[in-house]
Structure 1
Amino acid sequence: MNGLPRLGIDFGTSHTVAVCQWRDGGGQPLLFDASPLLPSAVLVDSQRRLLVGRDAQRGARADPAGFEPYPKRRVDEGTILLGGAEIGVPDVIAAVLHRCAGEAARVAGRPVAEVVLTHPAAWGPRRRAVLTGAAARAGIDAPVLIPEPVAAAVYFTTVHGVRVPPGAAVVVYDLGAGTFDVAVVRREGETGWSVLACDGFDDLGGAEFDELIVDRLRDRFRDQDPETWRRLTDPTTATDLRERTTLWDEARAAKEQLSRNSAAGVHVPFYGVEVVTREEFELAARPLIERTVNLTVSTLERAGVSPGAAAGLFLVGGSTRMPQVATQLHRRLGIAPTVIEQPELVVAQGAVTAAAAAFVPPPPIQPHAAPPQVSNPPERPAPPRKRRRRLAVAIAAAGTALVLAGGAAVYFLTDRESFPLNAIGQTNHGVFESAELAAFARPWLNEVTNCNRMGPGIYGGTVTEYVQCTGSDGSWNVQFRALTDISQRDASRQHRKVGYQGRPQSYTGERPESGQRIDYMYEQQYPVIYWDDDTSAMVGDLQGDLGATTEELAPIWAARVT
């Protein structure tokens, strides 16, 4: 790590939190309009400026067509139509990140030296590439990426002092304003974390609980005066639009008050004040919270961890302040949740803490669905991850690791190999089980940002170990496999020649000394360079993004093999 000032940014669906450390000691949350919560909203105004946060929210009252309240939900789209202009998603996200970096520089009195960005654990290379691309547009060079539940685990065990013994797993339950995420993470020795499983809902967050209060008010007033209520639900004038915003602000404030009090008054525009009780709110909220609790239980099951074996349950996100959340979780899991005063700040604080401790960031786990098993199916490369609305992820007894290291300038040498590994390379090296596959992959390990141990049976039983890593720029991934024997390696060669019409050629190099290289297109869309070792059953696949060519991949492969 480079030093101070350092900045951790938790880019959230509804809000973004930034924590800056500009002197020795802990980091401090940055304030935006006197609040540590910066709305992630953006607006293209009439002068074609990108406004962020509350500036964007205020501008939206006059120009809603230029407003995007949840840019994180648009991460899979190339562009967004705002105010009649097509704006690239990375540019929209960059506006939020730039606001954070600018405020950090203002507070610290100088530009930040290092930035840590957090992201959902299930985000694949393409989404992470969008995030790093946005950071580059915001003037943030080479940010470190850390999965959100890992940052949370670092915070609770480092800053908050929760003791988690090596090998034990904890649950990170994150109910934010816009989404719900749950992850099971395991302590690896004294210095690491593994993400065993994660899941979530993109359509369940604090906003859905606000809607419960609005629904309660609708039932009270709509039949009384349908036309006036329609002005709040379908505004056609600037005045009505402001009043609708007021209604939803009041609903959110009432929900927050009900976390502390037994009743809350809600100012309903055009109507007056209506009282909502905690009892009726909790009755309406119970099914939503039960959804999150059920998903937490199933995520523990996929991780292979029984509730009784979990060493902790960490609550993250502002919506976990609702008392019913902790109550239902405790009742169902039998674990007393760890709750703090400001759960919205946990992830960003954990990111800064990880950087300050010189943590090497862990590789985020990759969503994966195993194909149906048939008798002796051919081993094949993993396709690029095509994300649905949200995918459950589970990797049994494996996954990603976060480890302490001395810094990027420290190199590690082993007796067996002379190729030096830096701190990141040493972390990736630790993912491999067999020394032979680790040696085959070693020349790549300093320059990949995530290595994940995948299930060995995924490709028809010919694989004894399978590790997938992603290139540092997110535009390619590389897959290393140890096959059962030389005959399976030969079958792998033949399948690429015949099944994929690959172009074979022999090669000589340093790592390994000789083997077969076969260039082909996977699904006629994704370029792949396959290579293997004449003297072993180790094979690799270097795979590029949609639209790339094997010619573009060739220099990447050659620099590490020949």
Structure 2
Amino acid sequence: MAKILGIDLGTSISKMASILQGEPKCLESREGQVLIPSIVALAKNGERLVGDLAKRQAVTNPKNTIFAVKRFIGRRFSDPEVQKELKRLPYETRERSDGGVEIKMGDKWYTPIEISSMILQKIKLDAEEKLGEKVTAVVITCPANFDDSQRKATKTAGEIAGFKVLRIINEPTAAALCYGFGKKKPEKVLVYDFGGGTFDVTILDLSPDTVEVKATGGEPHLGGEDFDQRVINFVVEQFKKEQGIDLSKDPLALQRVKEASEKAKIELSSTLETEINLPFISADASGPKHLLYKINRAQLENLVRDLIEKSIKRVEETIKETQLQTGDIGEVVLVGGTTLIPAVREAVKNFFGREPNKTINPEEVVAMGAAIEAEILRAKE
């Protein structure tokens, strides 16, 4: 029987999983990574790169390195939130004749669906190489607040990549399926899903046979990339103040700052202080300029405190909607790379008055849940 996949198609990072020996397991890409950057690029030699290879050359090729397309899939170009996002991008975009977003890569224009299909195609090829057999069917996840247009667009991307898309399911539902896998006792679960581009909160009734969604809330434009942006803004402002040079006007310099800011944010989850060191970041009449700033965990927390508070406010609103109390929630499941940030975990712990569940990997749980759903659907066929 052919293998089927569960795919977490993320704003920043994508993951794939399959059921192996009766257990859900995330698979590594050909580059040996479970976390696959959701990035597509056209290299200077005309070769199309996807994932790690695309990310590695982003600094020297920002105009042809496409990232964060999930924020535009199935959306209108004129949408104020889309416009706000587009202003931050180093690559070129325009409005399509149907009102959607179009992205320039090389001398061609692509839709977010087409870019997403390139990421999914890479995942398909990598999975087939890893599993040693063809993969045709898939369950793909999306944020709980995706509308019909965004879901249809995600499904189309999967079909263009060569998959039979069995279902598009909500990321928190997939996470709950993974958490509940093999459990016998019914309980209420709250999934706090803080990914690269979106924040979702979902309350579910979990039993051995069913997953029932009681309420969902969230922010479609709140994620780890917004945390990165706060660090980027801080670095750019500091450098402008000290050197009188605006790095945001230089796409190559800005891409270097972006990568260093993301790296610093990740490092500050496991260390109290790190540095952003970018030699020869710019130059003026007096010669080359170097950028070196120390940044500590407390500074990062100050930069992003309001974003964390916004997520907790959405949790509060979603619980109120169900007329439940925090004590009625049996388990709090953390999902998404942003939940690895200590201040985020602390905020969730303080709100609920107890530690959230730590038994599952927040970065892999959605893909594994999608694989479980795919297996359930196949069994019904």
TM-score by length of 2: 0.82
Greater CA radius of gyration, 1 or 2?
A: 1
Question: Alignment partner of 2:266: what SS?
Answer: helix
Q: Does 1:264 align with 2:274?
A: yes
Structure 1 residue 97 displacement after superposition: 0.9
Match among 206, 213, 235 for residue 250 of structure 2:
235
Q: CA deviation at 1:23?
A: 5.0
Name the counterpart of 1:224: 242
**1:93 and 2:121 aligned:** no
Instruction: Note closer, same or farther for the CA distance 1:48–1:201 as it changes in structure 2 (3 Å cut).
Output: farther
Do the aligned partners of 1:258 and 1:277 also contact (CA within 8 Å) in 2?
yes
Cα displacement (A) at 1:59:
5.3
Partner SS, residue 118 of structure 2? helix
Q: 2:320: which partner in 1?
A: 301
8 Å contact 1:170–1:186 — kept in the other structure? Answer: yes
Query: What is the 5 A alignment of 1:330-409?
Result: 330-340=349-359, 342-356=361-375, 358=376, 407-408=380-381
* Structure 2 unaligned regions, length at least 5: 76-99, 280-288
Q: 2:261 aligns with which of 251, 274, 299?
A: 251
In structure 2, do the counterparts of structure 1 residues 261 and 24 end up closer, same or farther at CA, with 3 Å as the change threshold? same
Match of 1:185 among 161, 181, 204: 204
Q: Give the 3-state SS of the residue equivalent to 2:242 in structure 1.
A: coil
Q: In structure 2, which of residues 2, 12, 15 is the aligned counterpart of residue 14 of structure 1?
A: 12
Superimposed CA distance per residue, residues 44-68 of structure 1 (whole angstroms, 9 cap, x where no aligned partner): 5678765322333455545544443
Hey, what does 2:283 align to over in structure 1? none
Q: How does 1:434-453 map to 2 (within 5 A)?
A: none
Give the letter for the 1:292 counterpart. Answer: S
The alpha-carbon distance between structure 1 residues 12 and 299, as it changes in their structure 2 partners (threshold 3 A), is: same
Cα distance in 2 for residues equivalent to 1:107 and 1:32: 8
CA distance in 2, matches of 1:293, 1:174: 11
Give 1:209 deviation, angstroms: 1.8
Q: In structure 2, what is the equivalent of residue 54 of structure 1?
A: 52
Residue equivalent to 2:292:
273
Closer/same/farther in 2, CA of residues 50 and 340 from structure 1, 3 Å limit: farther
Greater relative CO (CA pairs within 8 A, separation 6+):
2
Query: Quick one: which amino acid aligns to residue 298 of structure 2?
Result: E
SS in 1 for 2:294: strand
Whole-angstrom distance in 2 between the partners of 1:137 and 1:293: 38
Equivalent position to 1:139, from 158, 162, 169 = 162
After superposition, where does 1:418-433 map in structure 2 within 5 Å? Answer: none
Which one has a larger percent helix, Structure 1 or Structure 2?
2
Change (3 A) 1:22 1:4: farther
* 1:115 CA displacement: 1.5
Cα distance between partner residues in 1 of 2:304 and 2:112: 33
Structure-2 change in CA distance of 1:334 and 1:16 (3 Å):
same
SS in 1 for 2:135: coil
For 2:104 and 2:57, how far apart are their aligned partners in 1?
13
Q: Post-superposition shift, 1:219?
A: 4.9
- 1:234, CA displacement in angstroms? 1.5
Distance 2:200 2:34 in 1: 21
Verify: 1:205 aligned to 2:223, yes or no: yes
Aligned length: 347
**CA distance, structure 2, for counterparts of residue 330 and residue 257 of structure 1:** 22
How far residue 150 of structure 1 moved from its aligned partner, in angstroms, is 0.9
Query: Residue 235 of structure 2 contacts residue 257 of structure 2 at CA under 8 Å; is this kept in 1?
Result: no
Distance 1:297 1:354, change over 3 A: same
User: Is the partner of 1:27 in helix, strand or coil?
Assistant: strand
* 8 Å contact kept, 2:269–2:340: yes
Q: 1:179: Cα distance to partner?
A: 1.9
Q: Return the alpha-carbon distance in structure 1 between the equivalents of residues 308 and 117 of structure 2.
A: 33
Structure 1 residue matching 2:205: 3-state secondary structure: strand
The aligned amino acid for 1:250 is A
- The C-alpha deviation readout for 1:245-298, integer Å capped at 9, x for no partner, is 332222222222221122112213443532212222223322211110011110
CA–CA separation in structure 1 for the residues paired with 2:188 and 2:208: 13
Identity of aligned residues (%): 27
Please name the residue that 2:102 is paired with.
80
Partners of 2:238 and 2:108 in 1: CA distance: 41
Cα 1:282/1:72, change in 2 over 3 Å: same
Question: Tell me, what secondary structure is at the counterpart of 1:244?
Answer: helix
Greater shift after overlay, 24-33 or 104-113?
24-33
d(CA) in 2 for partners of 1:201, 1:32: 33
Aligned to 1:323: 342
Q: Which residue of 1 aligns with 2:129?
A: 106
CA–CA separation in structure 1 for the residues paired with 2:211 and 2:270:
35
Q: 2:29 touches 2:123 (CA, 8 Å); kept in 1?
A: no
- The aligned residue for residue 174 of structure 1 is 193
Per the TM alignment, residue 211 of structure 1 is displaced from its structure 2 partner at its CA by 2.9
Measure how far apart 1:172 and its partner are. Answer: 0.7
- Which residue is equivalent to 1:128? 151
Question: 3-state SS of the aligned residue for 1:152?
Answer: helix
Secondary structure, aligned partner of 2:181: helix
Residue 128 of structure 1 aligns to a residue whose secondary structure is helix
